[in-house]
Chain A
Amino acid sequence: DVKVTQSSRYLVKRTGEKVFLECVQDMDHENMFWYRQDPGLGLRLIYFSYDVKMKEKGDIPEGYSVSREKKERFSLILESASTNQTSMYLCASSFTSVTYNEQFFGPGTRLTVL
């Protein structure tokens, strides 16, 4: 089974802190994604990566950066956390497929910024 793990289930940080969210997948997937999930808005893509050291902006990249130094690991960084970044953060991964690109999700990190 594909397994996607995230470093924390719950995280509480203060405004202005630098925050690192880590995601690891064990199926050698090329693609990795970071989403945030907010009530009534569904999932919104922050960044994705299709290869080591490659990254692409999603729909809401402002206030975030990412790092992918190894194929299995994709990090989301909040350079200076703000209260409007309080949310559920979901990591996902997928193969590059010529048919469809099913994404596999981690359990999520619920981040609260005070």
Chain B
Amino acid sequence: GNSVTQMEGPVTLSEEAFLTINCTYTATGYPSLFWYVQYPGEGLQLLLKATKADDKGSNKGFEATYRKETTSFHLEKGSVQVSDSAVYFCALNRYNNNDMRFGAGTRLTVKP
């Protein structure tokens, strides 16, 4: 079945450090891939998405590239800020299918 595996946390970084959160997936067909972010006390918000191989999603300085050959969708940011502290979820959704699968989440803490 479809599943997502993401890097276990927690991750603690200093401000302006480089961030990578790894995400790999298993799916039949051609899934769409997402990164959601959950700030403290809030629900999930879509951070970025990619719908086909080699697409790059980007938002708020975060990027992720849909790599079909390695079945990966790693999240990166060149310089993190304290305000980026949150839990990040990788997710996939098959084409025209409601079955969205989430990773376990990675908690990021950025220290000043």
Contacts and interface: CB of A to CB of B under 8 A. Distances in A.
Nearest to B6: A42
Interface string A14-55: 000000000000000001010000001111010010100000
Interface size class of A (residues with CB under 8 A): 20 to 34
Interface residues of B, number: 23
Interface stretch (B69-77, B78-86, B101-109): B101-109
A98 interface: yes
Contact of B45 (A98, A101, A105): A105
A4 interface: yes
Contacts, number: 58
A89 B43 CA distance: 10
A102 B34 contact: yes
Interface in B49-66: 49, 51
Contacts of B36: 105
A84 interface: no
A43 B99 CA distance: 12
A101 B95 CA distance: 8
A99 B55 CA distance: 14
A100 B51 contact: yes
B98 A50 contact: yes
Given A31-B98, A94-B98, A101 B93 contact: yes
B49 A100 contact: yes
Contacts of A31: 98
